A and B are shown apart, each in its own frame.
Chain A
Amino acid sequence: ELLHSCGHINPPSAVVQCGSNFTAVCVVKEECMDFFHVNANYIYWKTSHFTIPKEQYTIINKTASSVTFTNIGLLNTHLTCNVLTFGQIEQNVYGITIISGFPPEKPKNLDCIVDEGKKMLCHWDPGRETHLETNFTLKSEWATEKFADCKPKHDAPSSCVLDYTIVYFVNIEVWVEAENALGKTKSDHINFDPVDKVKPSAPRNLSVSNSEELSSILKLAWSNPYFKTVARLKYNIQYRTKDASVWSQIPCEDTASTRSSFTVQDLKPFTEYVFRIRCIKADGKGYWSDWSQEASGITYEDRPSKTPSFWYKIEPSHVHAYRSVLLIWKTLPPFKANGKILDFEVTLTRWKSSQLQNYTVNDTKLRVNLTNDRYIATLTARNLVGRSDASVLTIPAFDFQGNLTESKCYLITVTPVYADGPGSSESIKAYLKQAPPSKGPTVRTKKVGKNEAVLEWDQLPVDVQNGFIRNYTIFYRTNVGNETAVNVDSSHTEYTLSSLTSDTLYMVRMAAYTDEGGKDGPEFTFTTPKFAQGEIEAIVVPVCLAFLLTTLLGVLFCFNKRDLIKKHIWPNVPDPSKSHIAQWSPHTPPRHNFSSKNQMYSDGNFTDVSVVEIEANVKKSFPDDLKSLDLFKKEKPSTEGHSSGIGGSSCMSSSRPSISSSDETESAQNTSSTIQYSTVVHSGYRHQVPSVQVFSRSESTQPLLDSEERPEDLQLVDHNADDILPRQQYFKQNCSQQETNPDISHFEQSKQVSSVNEEDFVRLQQQQISNHISQSCGSGQMKMFQEVSAADAFGSGTEGQIERFQTVGMEAAIDEGTPKSYLPQTVRQGGYMPQ
């Protein structure tokens, strides 16, 4: 009472957070101080009877002293303020309780589970221990409804069961609030549909039934929980044999939909299986139910899958010619019996006899009296479904003495016989005495190459081996060479001879050896090929490719240089078949003035051009050409009478080519709708000797190639080499035809001459010369052709060429007035070139 009133501690009680500092102040009343003759220096602090060091004290004033705790650890103690009365007597002034701890952590991992048929349970991780009394409150609400708080029980402070009816398919929001003396916090809110948190009740009434039709299946049936009416389910079905401890599981994809039965397949016959099942919402949300109660079932029987082990024992018999044989066998293990074995059936058949003895036995042994003959015994096991395959056993004849012969292979088999039956037997081949093989192996080639050959052979039959074949030896040689021998292991049946010479005949034979010697087989011959496989192809293919490439390059070259080639090999020559002879008016006024360059090119109408071409031997020298011209001159009298100029009044006169003179403007105008020119062939083309000179007047746009002339025409000429008249008739026909077809484009004409270049230029000069000769025959048209030829020939060429052409044109104009010859020729060194 006295002390109680003597002072106090501030704060009167303390809940302190661990790690923080705490200071308590003890204030002693002055009257007590005076009574006990003490002051604040006499105050000392104690916790649970331990005095706190004075270093932690602070004298505030005469009546007050404080104590400070830094970085407080876990505490739950009493702090007392005491004084030493009269300098030595301890007196307690006041005391408080100090508790330290932590504020609540944010609850984590909040989750809920709806046990079907029960209320929803939510649980969470409360975080670290606070060491203080901490209250958790589970809160939940809908969008339209707020539910009562859920307070956890003391024994389960981190879970709470919501006591209201859970409604499926309505999202609910749930969170937890935690609070103690040091603070308050809450978890994250979770929002979910309770149907996704359901742990369904376990399937009930699981039953198992088998099928008589199939021994490998069992049918399961069960009752689904009520939750099936709310949501679709999927299942886990597990099974094991009765004695096993490990469960096997049906593949999940087979049980992914709501069902109430399932057939398990691929089970062993007549085997007891144990099953269990659980379920969950089909989309996997929620929790698996508990496993159902286990149920077991046995698969139906199947016929025995294996034959029983079977053996015999021969016992001596007192009856002559008979012996007592004990047949014994093992019982089948369950996994082979596939059911309950009802009985065994034994059948005995005497060797080379159809007599059968059948026995049905429930035991695993059978004693029979047999004759000394050899017997075949069979044994089958039978269950409810059927019989097993038969075990076959040979009981040898009693008089088997074992007359063994030499060099004959015997198979010796030893079978151990245990108390409960025979074990696995072992066999070995043996000879009483070996001998060399009675026959050698026959070797043959499997594949023959240039330098190698693959030999193969067959193993010797046992009857001729006469012993164990230890090795083979292959002998091979050429006709002239030494024999070579190669040893080969007896396990091989083929061997490759290498380093052979190509294109060589080889002889090969083979010998097989036992321990006692060998025996040669027949000799075999083969010839190695001269070339290896693919060698010929390796040569031919590149050659062909090279040839092909060369040809291709040649074609490309020809294509690129076709103009040059054409010039040298088949220059443009007129096609007589396309020749025309049109109306010719000798009075056609001259149209062109070759003195004017502009006029030459400005007028695009070339229809009044007449061309006289002379086919000449290119090899002829110019004097020869002149000679040939003389020939024309000689013919002139005979032809002049018929000719009055190109396109003139008479086609008969056109056998002499002529060029309309430039002053025949009228003629040019009259023939403006036709393209007229004449072709004169008076010698062979190039190196050919002309058979006859042919004179033609035509409007054809085609160059004339005498070789392209119609054969009948040529024949006509040949046969009448001395007679010009037929030719004239021929041309006359052409001429008349020409008159009816005058419309041949002058552009074609120009194209035909366009291929010429320098040669054409020279030709133009020749034509000028001929112009002198054929002046009287429409030199104007000739000039026009010259214009066109030059224009086309040089239009795309160099200016120099054009200038040269102009010069020619000028000359032609100058020569107009002096008729010389109407046989225009293209003069070229070496002869005349046809236009």
Chain B
Amino acid sequence: MGGCSGDYQALLGQLQQQMALMQDTSTLLDPFMRLEGLDKLRFSEHCTERPGAFPSDNALRTLGRRDFLRMLSSTLQRVLHRLAVLQQHLPETQDLEELGVARWNILGLKNNIYCMSQLLGGASELAPTTAAPGTSPPPTPAPDAFQSKLQGCRFLHGYHRFLHSARRVFSQWGSSPSRRRRQSPVWPQLDLERKHRPSRRGKRLVFRVRLTR
């Protein structure tokens, strides 16, 4: 496998720039709404993130670096599956190119998260996945078509918001890959790395991320 960059600053910069690109709703949500015929003005109230669908901004900020990366990676993995479901529900005649691009971007982001974990010394927990774009998710029951559109819209809204929050967390990372925790001005720091560091015996943190459809 190709090696990761050993330059922490460069990698952090790449992560931030990736997220800056991906958090933009014009990369996915807007085309999706256009494709699904959801008027942005009319449905902006209904197309809001469902609470709990993605880790909150505060929840992300309270995590240590490695926990944060694990959280990010697992969430993105779930997003990949969800995007595959969305792709399935799109009309066969309408292919959303942005959806494919977004999935590639998510894979690239996961790759950089993996590299960052390597730099921080916890890469084994974020082993590369073999799920390439296009992998079919398990079949899901087809709900009402309009509700399905709204759910997809809410999901993508939460996805962009989540990336925005994650980018803010990265922006607070220091200039060195030291294990010094980020300083949260609001929330007390929970040193999850220390308290819940996954041991090699299989103890892992379980992030309850509910990805609603």
Contact = CB atoms under 8 A, between A and B. Distances in A.
Contacts of B107: 142, 144-145, 167
Contacts of B100: 165
Contacts of B3: 143, 173, 191
Q: Majority SS of interface residues in chain B? A: helix
Interface in B19-45: 21, 24
A141 B4 contact: no
B160 to A, nearest CB: 15
B5 A191 contact: yes
A195 B15 CA distance: 13
Contact of B115 (A140, A143, A195): A143
Given A143-B114, A143-B128, A145-B111, A165 B101 contact: yes
A814 interface: no
B87 interface: no
Contacts of B109: 170
Q: Majority SS of interface residues in chain A? A: loop
B26 to A, nearest CB: 8
Nearest to B13: A169
A252 interface: no
Nearest to A143: B4
Contact of A144 (B18, B101, B110): B110
Contacts of A173: 2-3
A168 interface: yes
A193 B128 CA distance: 19
Contact of A170 (B108, B128, B129): B108
A164 interface: yes
Contacts of A229: 21, 24
Interface in B98-114: 100-101, 104-105, 107-112, 114
A565 interface: no
Contacts of A140: 2
B17 A169 contact: yes
A143 B104 contact: no
A460 B21 CA distance: 86
Nearest to A175: B2
Interface in B146-204: none
Interface in B121-157: 128-129, 132
Interface in B76-117: 100-101, 104-105, 107-112, 114-115
A167 B14 CA distance: 11
B2 A171 contact: yes
Contacts of A168: 17-18, 21, 108
B129 A171 contact: no
Interface string A155-173: 0000000001101111111
B118 to A, nearest CB: 8
A744 B15 CA distance: 94
A597 interface: no
A144 B114 contact: yes
Contacts of B112: 169-170
Contacts of B114: 143-144
B1 interface: yes
A169 B104 contact: no
A169 B115 CA distance: 12
8 contacts: A142-B111, A144-B114, A164-B104, A167-B107, A167-B108, A168-B17, A170-B111, A171-B5
Interface of B: 1-5, 14-15, 17-18, 21, 24, 100-101, 104-105, 107-112, 114-115, 118, 128-129, 132
Given A142-B1, A170-B14, A189-B2, 13 more contacts: A141-B1, A142-B107, A143-B114, A144-B129, A145-B107, A167-B105, A167-B107, A167-B108, A169-B18, A170-B111, A172-B2, A173-B3, A191-B5
3 pairs of A and B residues whose beta carbons are closest in the complex:
A173-B2, A144-B128, A167-B108
